[in-house]
Amino acid sequence: MNTAELAEHIASGHEMNKSQAKQVVEAVFAAIVQAASKGEEVSLPGFGKFKVAAREARQGRNPATGETIQIAASKKLGFTPAKQVKDAMNPAAPAGKPAKPAAKGKKKA
């Protein structure tokens, strides 16, 4: 789903036209970016949290040449979904059938 599709979805359910809905979507994204640029956490109950994390400078390799390069320190924006979002993405197994446990480690030959 892209911004236009999200705006269309919002417009269809909230008595507004597509351009008004698009302005709302863009305003929400701008507010999240503005808060994140200040280092603030954005918590949306029932949806999740956006957090800013600092990444230290480190050494890496240029994959084309194999040359060692210095990667500058930076910030990244991470997202942690709320329990409701996780549950919606991963519905519970039907009653009577236990969910299969995730495989751990490497398979034995």
What total of structural domains would you count in the chain? Answer: 2
- Average pLDDT on 9-25 reads 92
| pLDDT tens sequence across 39-78 | 999 999 999 999 999 999 999 999 999 999 999 999 999 9
Whole-prediction pTM value? 0.69
Q: Assess if residue 4 is contained within a domain.
A: yes
Cβ atoms within 10 Å of 33's Cβ, excluding its own? 13
- Domain of residue 20: give its range: 1-38
- Are 67 and 61 spatial neighbours (Cβ–Cβ below 8 Å)? yes
CATH number of the domain that residue 82 is part of: 4.10.520.10
Q: Assess if residue 95 is contained within a domain.
A: no
Residue 54 and residue 19 share a domain? no
- Please give the span between the terminal C-alpha atoms of the chain, in angstroms, as a whole number: 42
- Are 80 and 51 spatial neighbours (Cβ–Cβ below 8 Å)? yes
Residue 48 and residue 12 share a domain? no
Residue 14 and residue 48 share a domain? no
Q: Assess if residue 16 is contained within a domain.
A: yes
Cβ atoms within 10 Å of 18's Cβ, excluding its own? 13
